[in-house]
Amino acid sequence: MAHPLEGDHENRLQIVSSDQTESIIMTTRVLALFILSLWSMLVSADEKPIVGAIRWDAWTGGSITQQVERSLSPLKYQSRLPWFANIGKDGVVSIDGGDQTVMDQEIDYAADAGLDYWAFLLYPESSTMSTALGQYLGSSRRSKLRFCLILKNTLDLPEAAWLRERKRAIALLQEPGYQTVLGNRPLVYVFSSKGLPKRRLQEFIALARERELNPYYVFMGWHPAADVKKAIPLGFDAVSSYAKSNSSPAFVDLANSVKTQLWENAVNHKAPYIPLVTTGWDKRTRQDNPVSWEVDGDYHKQSVFPSKATPDEIASHLDEALQFVDQHRDICEANAVIIYAWNEYDEGGWLAPTRDAKGFPDKSRLEAIRQVLGERR
């Protein structure tokens, strides 16, 4: 028969042993979670920001094309003409980017430069402004470059058309090659000059949810601090901008205003943010030959616009934006950048090739950003 103290001693040893085992298991779990968390941060930090450019497709024929033809026809603006434009012997400018070969070549241009996606301004399917999107979707080369949508004109349609176009937009979010962020969330930009479209945004969100989609909604405004206060309660995940105007005489001043008034503003107010990169802002074309949709634009009173950016200035600005995302992952959770623009030729913002004096594509801007993007991939 064991002595009572001996049995008690054995029990105490078993209790101590059990406690030690539980402690080891708990320590192991905590350590495992720490390692997993550290690994996730390292993987996230190693991911390069995705870079996209805005498409405004007024170059495929129709009444809008006729108006931008007129705005770019003066000799002093012809250096901005799209690479596929023609100048007749009589000096008359004609622009027709409606051929599928144009889109196929543009996909190659963008992909070769290192862009990840295009952000298409969405217009009604029947509009000539939707021709380019249709060509992209039908291109055999589309797998080289992803795409996403900017909801703007769609949100202002009459009710019957809105119901139809809303359904179309949701279907586009499910297309192969649609740009996603944060795992599998379709990237959706919303830009409205008439204020936040509350009801229609809520209807869009509800329909997306019914389709088991969880888009990442980004409101394109003008002031991150103010925009985020209005946008987040409505269901937006982040803010950004479509473009940035400026009346300084040099492009570097425009780029600096983007950094201080947009990027730094977002940091100071901890606004979830996708940084804008600008390639220019010069609407003298539309001052000289006004377009029907901007008859009362404030820029008509503007006397000074930023100078035309050099390819190196654009590349430097883009590089700074990529560094900004790397340094501010807390607010740049989508790990993305948006460039104004791929083809806003007559507004002064473009990356796509222009027509040089000999009629060949001037790809210098794309070649410059390829140096930046190539080094980071």
Strand partners, 354: 82, 362
pLDDT of 231 reads 95
> How does the average pLDDT of the chain come out, rounded?
90
Does residue 6 surpass a pLDDT of 60?
Answer: no
66 near 131, Cβ under 8 Å?
Answer: no
Tell me what pLDDT residue 25 has: 36
* Residue 155: Cβ within 10 Å count: 22
What are the pLDDT digits (tens) for 295-336? 988 999 999 999 999 999 999 999 999 999 999 999 999 999
pLDDT class of 32 with cuts at 50, 70, 90: very low
> Confidence band (pLDDT; 50, 70, 90) for 26?
very low
Q: Enumerate the domain spans of the chain.
A: 1-46, 50-375
**Percent of the chain, pLDDT > 70?**
87
pLDDT over 80 (residue 10): no
Task: Please determine, for residue 243, whether its predicted confidence score (pLDDT) is greater than 90.
Answer: yes
Q: Which helix (H) or strand (E) holds 159?
A: helix 159-173
Residue 8 has a pLDDT of 44
User: In Å, what is the CA distance from 135 to each residue of 4, 52, 53, 344?
Assistant: 89, 18, 17, 18
pLDDT (average), residues 62-71:
97
Which of 205, 168, 165 lies closest to 185, judged by CA?
205
**For residue 189, what pLDDT is reported?**
98
Query: For the domain bounded by 50-375, which CATH number is listed?
Result: 3.20.20.80
Greater pLDDT, 211 or 28 = 211
pLDDT value of position 9? 40
Is residue 147 over pLDDT 70?
yes
* pLDDT at residue 20, as a whole number: 54
Structure tokens belonging to residue 143: 């797998």
